[in-house]
Chain A
Amino acid sequence: MAKEMLKGNVAIAEAAVRAGLQAYFGYPITPQTELLEHLSKRMVELGRVFLQAESEVAAINMVYGAACTGVRVMTSSSSPGISLMQEGLSYIAGSDIPTVLIDVMRGGPGLGNILPSQGDYFQVTRSAGHGDYHPIVLAPASVQEAIDFTVLAFDLAEYYRHIVIVAADGQIGQMMEPAELPEMRPVNEKRPEWALTGAIDRDPNIITSIYLEGHEMEAYNLKVQAKLKEVKKSEARWVEHWTEDMDLLVVGYGTAGRIAYSAVEEARERGMKVGLLRPQTLWPFPEKRLSELTDEIEAVLVVEMNAGQMLEDVRLAVSGQIPVGFYGRMGGVVPMPDEILDAIDTHYKRLAIRLRDKERV
């Protein structure tokens, strides 16, 4: 397929349609409303389900119900709407059913504003609801990745019977870039064995998240943990730039990672030995790779559009072996490449002083 000029939100919506989305339930919220708008037209055209719910709480519970029948189902929202979905997400996770959720993050906390943010990192990677689990979280940095990750999200969700969140931000949702959509996949008519399809000529399936006995609940939890261990082993994804021969590593994802790319490129042109690691999965976090790189570098600089959330995962991976610096903007303010370059410059100079002192000793 040829490249088209596509807006992030529309691209995600169309990618979901082509990945075989059968039912969408959602509630409008800026900066992701174009996603809903596109689906309201396309899903109806194709004779599939589009339903604008009365709230995000209703939408996520409709998703829960539809997902139990084994069809490809999705919802989307932005930060405050994702907060409202937490209970439903936990029930979905506790029922082992596949669900795709798009979060086009905006400034917060509270009602906040409609500008781009990465303030939901904790909300989406830590559990997205109560209980012991992590959703799989994909973080696109371009319209093309938003498309690719949306398709991937459905496949991963089905394979692991798990929640997959595409965590974009207002900038990815609103910008236009040339990107290529996938071919239209046929809708999967065959339902999985576990699905609730009417139990004609078979024993009934039961989907529940209630285990009143402690040991039963624990046994279920152990199963979830075993699944997550497998996800952790197989699904970490990331991109590296200029990571050979470097002293300072910049780590950033999504829009912040993309802007950091410009800053690191400029820093390289100025002769600084700087590289970039851009996690594409926030959970599982590419901790193994970061830990390997830690042996080769002198310091890390984390760049985010929040007060330092992925920073904690970076610190865990680095385990105190080298200094970890941070540069972030909050509340919907997007860092400019020159700000990040200044931060790189500052950390690079500190590093040079420390290395010189080390040599003296």
Chain B
Amino acid sequence: MQEQILFAGFGGQGVMFVGQLLAYAAMDANYEVTWIPSYGPEMRGGTAHCTVVMSDKPIGSPIVSYPGIAVAFNNPSFEKYEPIVATNGLLVYNSSLIDQKPQRTDIQMLAVPATDIADELGNLRLTNIVMLGALLAARPLLTLDQLRHALEGHIPSHRRNLLDLNLQALERGAALVLHTPQM
């Protein structure tokens, strides 16, 4: 098994952290894993992305041309990454902010109103965790329990008070997929 997951969005949407969180959980579950950020001359308000590769074998390249899974948080990311998802892959997109219609018919599309759900939970910064919950429900790379442990283990100490809220966000994202009939 080898899976490549690309997370992309505006700076500040928690794209880097959510990739790291997945990487921590993958490491704790004894997978080989790499996390690599885009670190070019990024513009404020522009897009940032990171790629996570998890595998049960040693990982050669930490970057790929055609990721199996892309998670798009905003319109520019959707435009940029919809075309490069591998055939039969998955595109999870934040339908609260992305108003475009998907073009591809050879990949699975998963619309998640993540920013709206985060808003309901009372903190827009939970958008990334809602997206991750939905992703893991659609593709069981790791269990929600494994993610819970990673969150508990790696949330910065000054953010510990937000742990419960993060766990709720993870479950809300997952519930959305599990309780919605998929096409």
Contact = CB atoms under 8 A, between A and B. Distances in A.
Interface of A: 3, 5, 30-31, 113-115, 170-171, 174-178, 258-263, 265, 334, 336-339
15 contacts: A3-B27, A30-B39, A171-B62, A171-B63, A176-B20, A176-B34, A177-B33, A177-B34, A259-B61, A261-B60, A336-B61, A336-B63, A336-B65, A337-B65, A339-B65
A69 to B, nearest CB: 36
Given A3-B27, A113-B40, A259 B65 contact: no
Given A5-B23, A114-B41, A175-B37, 10 more contacts: A3-B27, A5-B27, A5-B35, A113-B41, A170-B39, A174-B37, A176-B20, A262-B59, A337-B60, A339-B65
Interface in B37-79: 37, 39-41, 58-66
Given A178-B33, A336-B65, A115 B40 contact: yes
Q: Which 8 A-B residue pairs are closest in the complex by CB-CB distance?
A: A262-B60, A261-B60, A259-B61, A176-B35, A175-B36, A262-B61, A336-B65, A178-B27
B27 A31 contact: no
A27 B44 CA distance: 25
A262 B34 CA distance: 14
Which of B20, B23, B32, B62 has the most chain A CB atoms closer than 10 A to its own CB?
Answer: B62
Contacts of B37: 174-175
A31 B39 contact: yes
A337 B64 contact: yes
A220 B41 CA distance: 46
A337 B41 CA distance: 24
B24 interface: yes
Nearest to A178: B27
A176 B36 contact: yes
B134 to A, nearest CB: 23
Given A171-B62, A262-B60, A262-B61, A5 B24 contact: yes
A153 B35 CA distance: 26
Contacts of B58: 261
Nearest to B35: A176
A114 B20 contact: no
Contacts of A263: 60
Nearest to B34: A177
B27 A175 contact: no
Contacts of B66: 338
A334 B64 CA distance: 10
Interface in B59-102: 59-66
A84 B58 CA distance: 37
B66 to A, nearest CB: 8
Interface in B112-135: none
A336 B62 CA distance: 10
Interface string B16-29: 00001001100100
A280 to B, nearest CB: 16
A175 B23 contact: no
Contacts of B62: 171, 175, 177, 258
A171 B60 CA distance: 13
A113 B40 CA distance: 8
A176 B39 contact: no
Contacts of A113: 40-41
Contacts of B23: 5, 176
Which of B23, B58, B61 has the most chain A CB atoms closer than 10 A to its own CB?
Answer: B61
A258 B36 CA distance: 14
Which of B20, B33, B36, B66 has the most chain A CB atoms closer than 10 A to its own CB?
Answer: B36
Contacts of B60: 258-263, 265, 337
Contacts of A261: 58, 60-61
Which of B20, B24, B34 has the most chain A CB atoms closer than 10 A to its own CB?
Answer: B34
Nearest to A31: B39
A339 B63 CA distance: 12
A4 to B, nearest CB: 8
Contact of A258 (B40, B61, B65): B61
A115 B41 CA distance: 9
A338 B23 CA distance: 24
A1 to B, nearest CB: 14
A292 to B, nearest CB: 25
Nearest to A3: B27
Contacts of B20: 5, 176
Contacts of B35: 5, 175-177
Contact of B39 (A114, A262, A334): A114
Contacts of B27: 3, 5, 178
